[in-house]
Amino acid sequence: MVRRRKDSGALLAEATKVADAIHQQDRAAEAKMEQEVRAQRTLMPIDTIQPRAFDSRPLREKHVAELAESIAALGLIEPLVIDRNGVLLAGGHRLAAIQALKEIHTAIYQQLFPGDRIPVRVMDFDAEAEPERSLQVELAENEKRQNYTRDQIEQLADRLRSLNYKDTRGRPKEGEKALGPALAVAIGVSTRYVRKVLSEKAGSEQLSENRNSDPIFREIKLLKKVELALLDLSKVENSKDRTTNEQALMKAIPGFLKKIQSCLREKAKTIDL
Amino acid sequence: MTRHSVAVAARKGGVGKTTVACGLASILADRGDRVLVVDLDPQSNAAYVLGSDPTASGTADLLSGNSPTPLQVSSNLFVLPGGPDLTGHNIQSLDPEDLADAIAQLDYDIFIFDCPPGVEYLERLGLVAADTALVCTDAHPLAVMGAGRVLNELKLRAQKKRRGAKSWSLVLTRIDLRRAMDQTLDRQLAEAYPTIERFIVHQDSALAWASAERIPLMQYDPKCKGAADLQAVADWVTHG
């Protein structure tokens, strides 16, 4: 059966009508985009940012100090989040850190935040009228911390390295700063996570390269532990009702301790060579 | 000589934007104007059909604040290739007037912006940088719908007195008058948009072959039907 075609003029006219309808949607979508972009990032004078009515978490002084150091090195990576009236929704520690930076390193502060203006993201609602929503924002803000891509983390690490931060494990030498913890504070994740990302990036051969993975160091560490434990054990006061087994063990300890100590001396020599 | 800048847009894909843009560029260059084709399409077809390297640095680089050297196609014809860098976040967040500002320094008589299908923020860069727009549609409701959206946007910008194209016309592409829908298209558009000028570019295999062989139209076949159709468009662009 041959299907009878509709009038092509009517078909084209229909399309023109739909184009007008979609145009309304185009405009609505555009307006929404604009609003979202506007909501994303703006600068606010620091003293117009008001504290929350009640803080859900007390500030940890140590964290504030670490953040201040991180902001001095890297700038403020995540803007503070405020409601439409300028009430802080998320970033209490960051705000305190910025205020601390202003007092301690005024020059760096002025360079980072010229005109006392702080990057903020404005959420278009009233925290007082919608306390539940403001709590949600705060929680979401503290949860989304792992959203940095590996490349972003690597870039931040590079900036820290150029500022003489070192990514070796253990305590940094004098004049150096530890990269892992600094980066962890900056983006609000664990040091462990930062190290995992950085070592994956550098290639897995570096993953376990620390002193403990060297068999000699590991052996020395264990021997020292045994030595200390035996010394402690031999200092325990003699009680009279010891079993024969215990007596035999106590008798053997001095000789065993000697062997361990001579082993440790030998090992120390091999390391020096 | 007055500078002209022309955006070729359709919103719909596959209706002949690049063919019209590059054919028109070839004609205008042949008339003695220095012409630059600015490809806004991430698919980077314009440089390809003109016989240049579509992977060379081009429009995205220009929009990033650099000064890429346009590729020379013939003595008067140059092209800035498009490419996937146009989809980058830094391009998406540009102000719609950034392309208009970027070309202000460049020394050409005529700029032709080959807008991409679908990607509105790129199309808008072209529409805002142009003083004239050619809105292409073939004889299918889907293309008519796409053209309608572009026309509405042009009208809205002009009403708001924003920077951008001040005049525009419809280019009916791939028209084969043996087909019922093609016969009706011109009349239908005249009814829907009575004040907008219309041009017809007939279905012509010479246009397709010039693109496929990567030879500018006026070097491939200056006397073909498609070239004659585009001559009329070129007259309108330069003389109104």
Which 70-109 residues of chain B touch chain A by CB within 8 A?
A: 93
- On average, the pLDDT of chain B sits at 95
Of A236-245, B74-83, B116-125, B213-222, where does mean pLDDT reach its minimum?
A236-245
Q: What is the CA radius of gyration of chain B?
A: 16
Q: What average pLDDT does this structure show over B174-200?
A: 95
Q: Which residues of B165-187 are buried (b: 16+ CB within 10 A; e: fewer)?
A: beebbbbbbbbeeeeebbbbbbe
Confidence of residue A236 (pLDDT cuts 50, 70, 90): confident
Residues 6+ apart with CB under 8 A from A124: A35, A39, A84
Provide the CB-side half-sphere exposure for A36 (13 A, CA): 7
Helix locations, chain B, DSSP H: 17-30, 46-49, 59-63, 89-92, 98-103, 120-129, 141-159, 180-192, 205-213, 217-220, 225-239
Instruction: Inspect the interface and report whether the beta carbons of A19 and B148 lie closer than 8 Å.
Output: yes
Measure in Å the smallest separation between the Cα of A144 and chain B Cα atoms. Answer: 21
pLDDT average, residue stretch B116-145: 96
Mutation pick from B137, B144, B151 vs chain A, by most beta carbons of A within 10 Å, is B144
Q: Does B149 touch chain A (CB under 8 A)?
A: yes
Which string of b and e fits B211-226 if b means at least 16 CB within 10 Å? Answer: beeebbbbebbeebeb
- Residue in B141, B149, B156 nearest the CB of A22: B149
Residue scoring higher pLDDT (B114 or B120): B114
Residue with more model confidence, A189 or A260: A260
Residues of B in contact with A23 (CB under 8 A): 148-149, 152-153, 156
Which neighbouring-strand residues pair with B111? B5, B36
pLDDT at B139 over 90: yes
In chain A, residues with a C-beta closer than 8 Å to the C-beta of B188 are 9, 12-13, 16
Chain B: give the shortest CA distance to residue A26, in Å. 8
Name the pLDDT band for A205 (thresholds 50, 70, 90): very low
More confident residue, B138 or A79: B138
Cβ burial of A118 (10 Å; 0-12, 13-18, 19+) is buried
**pLDDT tens digits for B221-238?**
999 999 999 999 999 999
Which chain A residues are within 8 Å of B146, Cβ to Cβ? 19
Report whether pLDDT(A145) > 70: no
Determine the angle formed by the axes of helices B180-192 and B141-159, rounding to 10 degrees. Answer: 20
> Which residues of A, range 19-58, sit inside 8 Å of B by Cβ?
19-20, 22-23, 26-27, 37
Of B93, B141, B149, the CB nearest to A14: B141
Q: What percent of chain B has pLDDT over 90?
A: 89
Averaged pLDDT, A159-170: 76
Q: Which residue is associated with the tokens 């040091």?
A: A191
For the entire predicted model, the pTM comes to: 0.58
pLDDT digits (tens, 9 = 90+) for B205-217: 999 999 999 999 9
